[in-house]
Structure 1
Amino acid sequence: MQQLEGKVAFVTGAGSGIGLGIAQALAAAGVKVMLCDIEQAALDTAVAGLSATNADVAGVRADVSLKDELRKAADETIARFGKVHILVNNAGVGGGGDYGEWTDASWDWTIGVNLMSVVWGIEIFGPLIEKHGEGGQIVSTASIAGLVAAVNPSYNVTKYGVVALSEGLRPTLAERGIGVSVLCPGFIRTQIMDSRRNLPPRFGDIEEMNEGANEIVAAAREAIEHGIDPRYVGELVREGIEGDWPYIVTDTEFEPIIAERFANITAAFDRIRDRVPQR
């Protein structure tokens, strides 16, 4: 999608953080943007800020872990803008305890927001992008934790899932004129460590990734507080959409760890290379 001006984008988790950075970058490129977020006050502030720049934007509140609410948000997007070209599945939470501490509720919440909303987003918006025949792009936010298991189990599982879903659908949707990119950010200045502020009551009182405030969590919080500007990430995503990048990363901090993972996988093949049975 080399020409973005006049296109329409739907961005989840757009009230703050990476989602807002992406919405800002797309709006600056002339894209009409429907911002979606569960946090009404943040959403209103984001929409007002962008509207003040004469950007053509609107907002819709939705809990993306509920498929019906995401479908209604899609309906509102079409009612407001007529079509959609770009889907950004960005909403995410950092909930979930470590081994021996997790609960069913924390898994349900994390999977619902981080993974199933991406599945449903593609299911709902994919046909809408196909319908107008003008092509489009789907960008889904995973994490560096989708390339190396660096956080807690439920977060890692959902982010690996987003990477796998994106990789698997890329060749399929390319045949339908839709590019697929997966965003794997490192430490970005977001509120991911305080995700429980938006925990829906139906999940009850669950543990969160910063429970206990141990040294590792404290270090992660500090790294995020001094992390990369979300607007910079937004510009990378804009460029990734224009260039149909399969992977969008934000920095090289974790490259050695990921390279080590790949080396370990290669070593596993090397160990059995001379033992493979003849067929």
Structure 2
Amino acid sequence: MKHLEGKTAFVTGAASGIGLGIATALAQAGVKVMLCDIEKAALDKAVATLRETNADVDGVVADVSLKDNLQRAADETIARFGKVHILVNNAGVGGGGDYGTWNDAGWNWVVGVNLMSVVWGIEIFGPLIEAHGEGGQIVSTASIAGMVALTNPAYDVTKFGVVALSEDLRPKLAARGIGVSVLCPGVIRTNIVDSGRNIPSRFAGQIQTVPTEGPGTEILKAVTEAIASGIDPLYVGELVREAIENDWPHIFTDMQFEPHIEARFAAIKEGFDRIRDRVPRY
């Protein structure tokens, strides 16, 4: 999509962090943007701030872990803007608990927000993008943890899933005029450590989002400090805008974790090397 001006985008998790950075960058490029988030006060503030720049934006409150909420948000987007060309599946949460501490509620919450909302977003918005025949782009936010397991099981599993889903759909949707990109950010200045503020009431009291004792507390402190001095989300937004314009398959934000990914690939290669001379010949 070389020419973004006048197009319409739907962005989840858009009230803060990477989502707001993407919404801002797209709005600055002349894209009409529907911002979607579960936090009404933060969403209203984000929409009002963007409107002060004469951006054509609006907001819709939705819990993207619920499919009917996403469908309603899509309906409101079409009612407001008529069409949608760009889908940004960005909403995400941290947590879920490590081995020995996880439970069903934690898995259901993290999988619902981080992975199933992406599945449902594509299922709902894909046909809307196809319908107008003008082409479009789907960008889904995974994480560098979608390339190498670095955090906790639930988070890593969902982020690997977003990468796999995006890579699988890219050639299939290209034939339908839709580009597919997956964003794998590193350490970005966001509120992800405070994901617990958005736990839905149906999971109230069932999920521990941060460790309260043991070595995990020191790790959390280090992560919190790193995120506080992390990359500006608006920079990420500009990268995503460029990626949409040029149909990048993978969007990375920095080089910090490249050695970890190279080490993972090397370990995989070793697995093949071990059986290279043992493969049966048929």
Q: Which residue pairs with 1:153 in the alignment?
A: 153
Cα offset, 1:122, TM superposition: 0.1
Secondary structure of the 1:87 match is strand
Q: Which residue pairs with 1:204 in the alignment?
A: 204
Distance in 1 (CA, whole Å) between partners of 2:109 and 2:4 is: 34
Q: Which residue pairs with 2:248 in the alignment?
A: 245
Aligned pair in 2 of structure 1 residues 145, 210: CA closer, same or farther (>3 Å)? Answer: farther
TM-score norm. by structure 2 comes to 0.98
Q: Map 1:59-98; keep pairs closer than 5 Å.
A: 59-98=59-98
Q: Which residue pairs with 1:181 in the alignment?
A: 181
Deviation track 1:106-129 (CA, whole Å, cap 9, x = no partner) reads: 000000000000000000000000
Aligned pair in 2 of structure 1 residues 254, 211: CA closer, same or farther (>3 Å)? Answer: farther
Cα-Cα RMSD:
0.8
Deviation track 1:133-158 (CA, whole Å, cap 9, x = no partner) reads: 00000000000000000000000000
CA contact (8 A) 1:96 1:209 kept: no
Aligned length: 279
Q: Which residue pairs with 1:44 in the alignment?
A: 44
- The residue identity in structure 2 corresponding to 1:268 is G
Distance in 1 (CA, whole Å) between partners of 2:29 and 2:71 is: 26
Q: Which residue pairs with 1:270 in the alignment?
A: 273
TM-score norm. by structure 1 comes to 0.99
Q: Which residue pairs with 1:108 in the alignment?
A: 108
| Structure 2 unaligned regions, length at least 5 | none
CA contact (8 A) 1:23 1:33 kept: yes
**Identity rate, percent:** 75
Asked if 1:228 corresponds to 2:220, the answer is no
- The residue identity in structure 2 corresponding to 1:220 is V
CA contact (8 A) 1:94 1:209 kept: no
Distance in 1 (CA, whole Å) between partners of 2:212 and 2:144 is: 21
Deviating beyond 4 angstroms after TM superposition, the runs of 4 or more aligned structure 1 residues are none
Cα offset, 1:26, TM superposition: 0.1
Asked if 1:216 corresponds to 2:219, the answer is yes
Cα offset, 1:210, TM superposition: 4.9
Cα offset, 1:204, TM superposition: 2.1
Secondary structure of the 1:214 match is helix
- The residue identity in structure 2 corresponding to 1:124 is I
Q: Which residue pairs with 1:4 in the alignment?
A: 4
203-212 vs 36-45, which deviates more? Answer: 203-212
Distance in 1 (CA, whole Å) between partners of 2:224 and 2:103 is: 23
- The residue identity in structure 2 corresponding to 1:255 is E
Cα offset, 1:40, TM superposition: 0.2
- The residue identity in structure 2 corresponding to 1:4 is L
Distance in 2 (CA, whole Å) between partners of 1:62 and 1:103 is: 25
CA contact (8 A) 1:140 1:166 kept: yes
Cα offset, 1:95, TM superposition: 1.9
Q: Which residue pairs with 1:20 in the alignment?
A: 20
Asked if 1:261 corresponds to 2:264, the answer is yes
Secondary structure of the 1:9 match is strand
